């Protein structure tokens, strides 16, 4: 367990302040220090010219392909607008009980909705989405409690209603998953 890190991988150009803040949040939430990696280039292979968006699952696959030995989890952070075929867009994607997650900052900015920029709101959305997607990788599914960070977000309103905290049940489940990992690693 010791010396394991969460790898944060910027995909494209991401503001360092966002990455630093995320590193603190992820460490606080999951108990593993974060390592901010060199930025990846824009993944042109995932671009869909008809949708003018990037296919999230393809990028996730690349992230999973390059996992380091001392990495407990990897999260990709991009400003590109992501999609999976069944949805118009996604805020992020992760597979249950897997190693990698990805989040998109694109639709977390007020400017995307034609509104004046709001750094505090933007950052709180980034934190919620990152915690949410990483928690999927620890095996938790969606929660019915609208205030719980594991509640699904299909619109930015869903993200704003929920908090960055876990409900009692999700908190308990996550802690037992993290504890179980500490025993086997």
Question: Which residues are near Zn ion by CB under 5 A?
Answer: 143, 145, 148, 150, 167, 170
Beta carbon nearer to Zn ion, 5 or 131: 131
42 or 84: CB nearest Zn ion: 84
Respond yes or no: is residue 133 known to be catalytic: yes
Q: How far is the CB of 79 from Zn ion (least distance, A)?
A: 20
* Least Cβ distance, residue 13 to Zn ion (angstroms): 26
User: Residue 108 or residue 167: which is nearer to Zn ion going by CB?
Assistant: 167
Q: Is the dihedral of CA 43, 138, 16, 113 positive or negative?
A: positive
**Cβ at position 98, least distance to Zn ion in Å:** 13
List 93, 127, 129, 133, catalytic entry: 133
From first CA to last CA, the distance across the chain in angstroms is: 5
Is residue 94 within 8 Å of residue 137, measured between CB atoms?
Answer: yes
Alpha carbon distance 25, 182 (integer Å): 20
**Cα–Cα separations (whole angstroms), residue 110 to 106, 121, 125, 164:** 10, 8, 10, 18
Could you list the active site residues?
Answer: 133
């Amino acid at each position: 367990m010791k010396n394991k890190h969460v790898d944060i991988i910027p995909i494209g150009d991401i503001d360092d302040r966002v990455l630093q803040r995320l590193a603190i949040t992820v460490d606080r939430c999951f108990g593993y220090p974060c390592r901010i990696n060199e930025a990846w280039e824009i993944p042109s292979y995932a671009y869909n010219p008809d949708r003018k968006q990037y296919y999230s699952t393809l990028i996730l696959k690349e992230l999973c392909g390059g996992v380091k030995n001392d990495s407990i989890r990897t999260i990709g952070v991009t400003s590109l607008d992501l999609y999976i075929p069944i949805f118009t867009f996604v805020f992020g994607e992760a597979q249950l009980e897997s190693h990698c997650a990805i989040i998109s900052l694109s639709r977390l900015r007020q400017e995307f909705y034609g509104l004046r920029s709001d750094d505090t709101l933007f950052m709180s959305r980034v934190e919620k989405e990152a915690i949410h997607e990483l928690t999927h990788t620890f095996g938790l599914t969606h929660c019915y409690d609208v205030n719980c960070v594991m509640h699904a977000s299909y619109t930015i309103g869903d993200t704003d209603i929920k908090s960055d905290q876990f409900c009692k049940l999700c908190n308990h489940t996550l802690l037992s998953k993290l504890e179980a990992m500490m025993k086997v690693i």
